[in-house]
Structure 1
């Protein structure tokens, strides 16, 4: 969960521990933390600062300037020591994977073709590219590729080399037709894979034919029955620049750049996907632990609530029995007073009433549990209508 970190707090951290350690606490790279500190106006220790500190030298800190136009707080996610350790292990694995792969070739003429690439080539080549953006895509049928016709062969060659390289590491791939995506399956994790082409757009400039079509519409006698000319607002242009995206949250993205195309960085992409699978698995395991902790907390709460309710019910029963016992004692004292006041010469009717009253006192007394055939029975029901009586 993200938290607000102020300038002063972050300044104290980067001058107490090396930037590498502080960056790891927040899941950032050294460069990422340096950029953040720059936007917040936080000076960083110069090169050699920590060597001087370790040697015991007294080195002054660069003071934190006044806030002025700088950001006061940043929203950061703080990781515990175990998470930082796991992140470093994932990064180390990515480096080792990239080193072991070396240069991954992407031949134009593919002697070995992944079956899903073959199917995608056949299906996408048959699609109509006359849509507004001219993108070819059928993610519910074949691999999730969204490119123009001019970039299709290159995208397929790139995906083919990528899938073959991943399959050598034990990864699988399948089409999720329901969610319209391509799923990579690697070390018990499932995450999406997509290749897209960047498209630029510009405001559409009306052609002479479109202008004439609009004029004909406005001059038409039956204008309300005619259809207004369909003129696009933008024109879209392919760039040939491809992007590979893996995962969703977390995710990784690799783009063509002005200096390097994705074909030259395929080992980096594969290593990044391997690292991403470890990150996703760690996230899923953490979420599973958190879910189990929530379940255990809920279970403890329900057990404690049940004990509380049982204790409450027993106490209420205790109080009720005490009240009933007091009522029974009060009735008996009253009957003793009535009998004493009668002078001992009561009639048979009085004796009968006295026996009845003492039975009621016994019925109220919880210590005796004496039943009463009339009061223990349910309350008589009001008679219904004549048609109900016949049922």
Structure 2
């Protein structure tokens, strides 16, 4: 089962006891714990910290820095669902934590990101390529060499980034990717034309696109400048735009890159907050659902118990009616035998053995079905006692 802990609580733990001891609590290695702390920007004591502390030497506790924008405040160890942790029914039915709050306003986050991003320059002469862009250029170079050495040319094997427009797209993307990398943004580029772009901050995915200003139209290769639009999209496969920047006559995208990079990071933080609030509502709904289902089960159990008791009462009444009927029948048999015995005794004819045998049998049958003799009475505990005198 996955184990979760707040960022501040984990920080207190790793500075209160050695990392190896803390790691054992979460059933992970000390290396895995340190990596988790690194991802969450949680400083850990250096190798000689505990030895110096035990020796009474002066040690320095590194302060916990602010949470990185877009990074969760909860650290999870063990297998967990990507979108929602694998909460157990007991956890969901337990006390609902308070709704998440974010003491740092978004404007303060934006100011912090602006300081981290700094200036973003994009010149025609690139001195260093982002790894994702470098990989695209290397593949493009391989396609160029293959096309040059092959007598057959296929359109899908031609180099992609040869026009001025595509070269400009790569320079803009390169500058943005390097800028968001200063805030731990990890870039994923899918496809050969760099059209499917994602920037990930921890578990927040910011989907972006850099395309001609008029969607669906490819830029004219003959034009040195084709208006482009950079957009932050709603999500994977969703064309809805959360924010966008477009080339302007006096302010091209190259002059807006710092603003773009900042908003990319801030958007990850906004998504995280939206997701945290949504997840809290989800937990509240799950808790309400579990409580509703538990109440339904309780009422169903009450209903079934009432039905059982009602059925039991009906069966007891039916058994009582049958016992009373059997008693009357037994009494009728005894009265009949007695009347026949008196009638025969009043005549001159003597009773023969066959009648006496029959009378004995009839009285035995009367005793057999008579509940007052067998004590087989509905609602009365079974007993082996002899029937009271007079029965």
Q: Please, what TM-score do these two structures have when normalized by structure 1? A: 0.51
1:39-81 Cα distance to aligned partner (Å, 9 max, x none):
xxxxxxxxxxxxxxxxxxxxxxxxxxxxxxxxxxxxxxxxxxx
> Quick check: 1:240 aligned with 2:240?
no
Structure-2 residue corresponding to 1:152: 166
- Where does structure 1 lack aligned partners over 5 or more consecutive residues? 1-81, 128-135, 139-145, 203-234, 371-391
Measure the CA separation in 1 of the matches of 2:215 and 2:292.
56
Change (3 A) 1:198 1:350: farther
Quick check: which has more Rg, 1 or 2?
A: 2
Count of aligned residue pairs for this structure pair: 239
SS of the residue corresponding to residue 253 of structure 1 reads strand
The 5-angstrom pairing of residues 182-221 of structure 1 reads: 182-199=197-214
Structure-2 residue corresponding to 1:387: none
Structure-1 residue corresponding to 2:324: 333
Alignment check: 8 A CA contact 2:329 2:366 kept? no
- How far is the alpha carbon of 1:199 from its aligned partner? 4.4
Change (3 A) 1:176 1:355: farther
Question: Considering only aligned residues, what root-mean-square deviation do their CA atoms show, in Å?
Answer: 4.0
Change (3 A) 1:265 1:326: same
> Quick check: 1:116 aligned with 2:132?
yes
Measure the CA separation in 2 of the matches of 1:256 and 1:114.
23
Measure the CA separation in 2 of the matches of 1:357 and 1:156.
104
Match 2:365 to one of 352, 375, 382? 352
Match 1:317 to one of 276, 284, 308? 308
Change (3 A) 1:161 1:237: closer
SS of the residue corresponding to residue 156 of structure 1 reads helix
Structure 1 range deviating more: 322-331 or 154-163: 322-331
Structure-2 residue corresponding to 1:388: none
SS of the residue corresponding to residue 170 of structure 1 reads coil
Alignment check: 8 A CA contact 1:335 1:354 kept? no
- How far is the alpha carbon of 1:282 from its aligned partner? 0.9
Q: Please, what TM-score do these two structures have when normalized by structure 2? A: 0.51
Measure the CA separation in 2 of the matches of 1:153 and 1:323.
89
- Where does structure 2 lack aligned partners over 5 or more consecutive residues? 1-98, 145-154, 236-240, 338-358, 384-391
Match 1:164 to one of 178, 187, 192? 178
Structure-1 residue corresponding to 2:269: 278
Match 1:91 to one of 89, 99, 107? 107
Alignment check: 8 A CA contact 1:174 1:183 kept? yes
Measure the CA separation in 1 of the matches of 2:156 and 2:212.
11
Between 1 and 2, higher relative CO (CA 8 Å, sep ≥ 6) is seen in: 2
Alignment check: 8 A CA contact 1:148 1:197 kept? no
Measure the CA separation in 2 of the matches of 1:369 and 1:306.
36
Structure-2 residue corresponding to 1:104: 120
1:289-316 Cα distance to aligned partner (Å, 9 max, x none):
1221222112112211111111111111
Measure the CA separation in 2 of the matches of 1:362 and 1:281.
76
Change (3 A) 1:328 1:318: same
